[in-house]
Structure 1
Amino acid sequence: MSSSPILCAIDRPDPAGALTLARSLNGVVGGVKLGLEFFCASGPDGVRTVQEAGLPIFLDLKLHDIPNTVAGAVRSALALEPAMLTLHASGGAAMLRAAVEAKRQAGASTWLLAVTVLTSLDDADLAAAGVAGGTGAQVERLARLAVEAGVDGLVCSPHEIARLRRILPAGVKLVVPGIRPAGPAGDDQKRVMTPQEALAAGADVLVVGRPITGAADPVAAARGLLGGGSGR
């Protein structure tokens, strides 16, 4: 398995195609992310299929519901033994603590990651939703809440990495989407950064989707993100 800090986001619904892509990336990326599109189409059996590639799975479900429901969902998801699992920090302290307790009871090593502010949102989007202070302040509020509840790490945009590193304990993992090679992003991510910039700022794991999956040669694209595919 590669020691690369890059995870490839496989945003497609078919397990066979996802498995083929994951197999081709084994030894190049550090794991693959499976999100809602994949999970809603293929379910737990689809996750098991992709696991045949031998790569760690980041199960990006962004759970957000009442505490009891989220705890039950976490228990079910942990049966798949994902390396990482997401829930929304905005679900509140009780929900986060219920998820952490469900993980503790399961004896799982999965990283529970709290999503702060989606990378598709900017200050104007938050203001329109009634959230004052901008993305930086909201990310900080939610990050403190989640870490106090006991999560293993956070999902944040590249532009909040340095700010969070200043205020959070050193052991908190930062998993960062919105990673793009140098040049125009050309998609719905608004708060982006290059892989080198994000790692230098203090990211632990980088999540990259379309720059890899949309390339004519995904393996070459993945290698090129870090200059030849080397890890940190």
Structure 2
Amino acid sequence: MHLFYTPDIKSEFYTLPEEESKHCTRVLRLHNGDTIYLVDGQGSLYTAIIQEANNKKCQLQIIDKQIEYGKLPYYTHIAVAPTKNIDRMEWFVEKAVEIGVSEITFLLCEHSERRQLRLDRLEKIAVAAMKQSQKGYLPLLNDLTPYHRFIQKSQPSSTFIAHLEDDATKSIKDHYVFGEPHCILIGPEGDFSPAEISTAYEAGIRPVTLGKSRLRTETAALVACHTLNVLHDIFAPL
């Protein structure tokens, strides 16, 4: 399936932007009459026929629309402090989108080593991962958010904090509720500060452990994402 990201479809005719047109005609070598597929990042999958295989303005006609394509039957939100090495965070975004994630928020914590973020770059990586894994939904990516502000807006019953302190003894599985949204907080490379952990507890957020191994930030975030994905499959009704 040749999949293209087209968030601005409004009629039965559509023109691919120049970059996508070149990819369609020069890389994939598609021609007039060939079928391609378009996603808008909000669950709509369009079937289109190439009317004019122009490498700058490839003209298409939409012949079919499918809604809720690839919709996740669960809502996974990972709130993570970006790593100093941005390549690691880009890797996490790519892999989380491939696995299946609904929302990612980047946290600004006391021990954060990265205090600036190019969200546009991460969004491009998310789009590429969405197309590569043939998904219909583009996860919501939230810019750097101060930790305390995030805690104030969180839902305590469905939000959990993964840290390295001894009182984090229960796993995500122990708190998992099928059909409910889940948000996991992942700290920076120096972990959450004691004050931040206390703030989470005071808000009613419970701690979880991701296992006995000490994980890098991006690894911990991906483990949390994958764990929720697997738990849904395990607890889903037959």
So what's the TM-score if we normalise by structure 2?
0.28
Determine which structure has the larger helix proportion and give its number. 1
Determine which structure has the larger strand proportion and give its number. 2
Larger Rg: 2
So what's the TM-score if we normalise by structure 1?
0.29
